[in-house]
Amino acid sequence: MSTATTMRFGIEEALQQLGIEDTNKGTSTGTDWFAGGDAIDSISPVDGEKIASVTTTTKDDYEKVITTATEAFKKWRTLPAPQRGEIVRQFNEELRRLKEPLGKLVSYEMGKSYQEGLGEVQEMIDICDFAVGLSRQLHGLTMHSERPGHRMYEQYHPLGVVGIISAFNFPVAVWSWNTALAWVCGDVCIWKPSEKTPLTGIACQKIAARVFAENGLPEGISCLINGDYRVGEYMTTDSRIPLISATGSTRMGKIVAKTVGERLGKTLLELGGNNAIIVTPDADIKMTVIGAVFGAVGTCGQRCTSTRRLIVHEDIYDKVKDAVTDAYKQIKIGNPLDENNHVGPLIDTDAVKMYQDALKSVKEQGGNVIVEGGVLEGEGYESGCYVKPAIAEAKNDMQIVQHETFAPILYLLKYSGDVGNAIEIQNGVKQGLSSAIMTNNLREAEQFLSHGGSDCGIANVNIGTSGAEIGGAFGGEKDTGGGRESGSDAWKIYMRRQTNTINYTTELPLAQGIKFDL
């Protein structure tokens, strides 16, 4: 670790507060840390510096983890749900105490702005609040039986071991969405964070393990494994894990779905997005610009809900184009720990190449780049991961527009006629995560939200595509995977449903009036 770098950004102090040493083993069943695999380096895209090395999980390591988790489940599931909620509340208190250092580590290891890093930890806090309340509301229905003297009802039981595979762009929040709910449902969790952001995973595991240990609860309720896709395969092929929650690309999700499906396991998939904002003639232009620009450049375009397409009516197209391009001139790009900057780096140089290839494809396919991109060089940009947000005029059927590019590239698309034409353009991609319409016309808004409107899992009016609240279920349709996480009744995916019938009479009538006399 570069002492000069960490001292300058305050990272060394943050790591100390989180209990992370310079070199860490990357496998944990709780308080027991071990690993026998190769080392992977955590490299910050902020300055290209190595933060620390993490040792990957071997197959033997994994077997120890799954055995410990399975044993822990036997005790954890017997605790009443409100008691499990109390443990989540204590975990939440630790997150509140450590919000600043954890947010700083998220920012430095992933590259998002410090405010977004703090916001991500706040999402963890919010989902824990939600889960604590949920621990007293794990309800089932009561149904009337057709047989006299019978009672029918349904209840939910914990599944067992939940496997969580998360992506680099939200290195802690998505884990917490799954874990907080799974814990109150009575499940135990094994988490494989992205190999690009392993230290944030270690930080969270240390916090959780400390809470469980202080309460005399067994190791294995929260487990951590580290490594690349091969480590993830340990979970996806393991029939001892009934549910795999995976966040990432559509390509990855299809592999996970096939693998888990072959063993008849359950999957919760949060995959790619190709999100659009429709801008009608009745839109508030100022609000549109704010929503579109943050949606397109926030997290350097590396959110699954990032705005990729701006679908603008021809009557106001030039006005909107000018307003958005003017706003791009005000964007400040640089060290994300400096709160004066709006945009930090892409995650690594591979992402930079993908960004460059996408811009090249735009031009080759007939698009018109109106805000040129490019890689930034010089002082402060030594990591080679800083790029300029770009805007291109394009058509929806262009191959590159149909593809999700995880980078700050915004496509301007023009529509004519009524809003139905814009909705058709918006829906004309394989992904179906987030969508939005900017309009003050009630009829347009309602049409957008109707059965024939947006086909996405999230549909917003007069806000952008990015920035979901934990109270609502998060997820999308089509190539986005169909899963739902976070709020509403998303907790049910972590449990198995059971229907119960109780006969409190001295006779045994059969259903549907069937007679069977002996």
Residue of 129, 443, 173 whose CA lies nearest to 305: 173
DSSP string, 412-460: EEEE-SSHHHHHHHHH-SSEESEEEEE-S-HHHHHHHHSTTS--SSEEE
Those residues with Cβ within 8 angstroms of residue 294's Cβ, 6 or more apart along the chain or in another chain: 464, 466, 467
Distance CA 485, CA 492 (A): 10
Residues 13-39 as b or e (16 or more Cβ within 10 Å = b): ebbebbebeeebbbbbbbeebbbebee
* 360 Cβ contact partners less than 8 Å away, ≥ 6 residues apart: none
Is 270 an annotated catalytic residue?
yes
Amino acid identity at 336:
P
Distance CA 145, CA 509 (A): 11
| 385 included as an active-site residue | no
Task: Name which of 467, 39, 91, 473 is nearest 270 in CA terms.
Answer: 473
Question: For the purposes of burial, counting CB atoms within 10 Å of the CB of 2, is it exposed (0-12), middle (13-18) or buried (19 or more)?
Answer: middle
Q: How far is CA 122 from CA 64, 92, 165, 176, in A?
A: 33, 10, 21, 11
The residue among 387, 411, 388, 386 whose CA lies nearest residue 400 is 411
The catalytic position among 123, 270, 444, 485 is 270
The catalytically annotated residue of 185, 189, 204, 304 is 304
Q: Give SS3 for 485.
A: strand
For the annotated catalytic residues, the residue numbers are: 270, 304
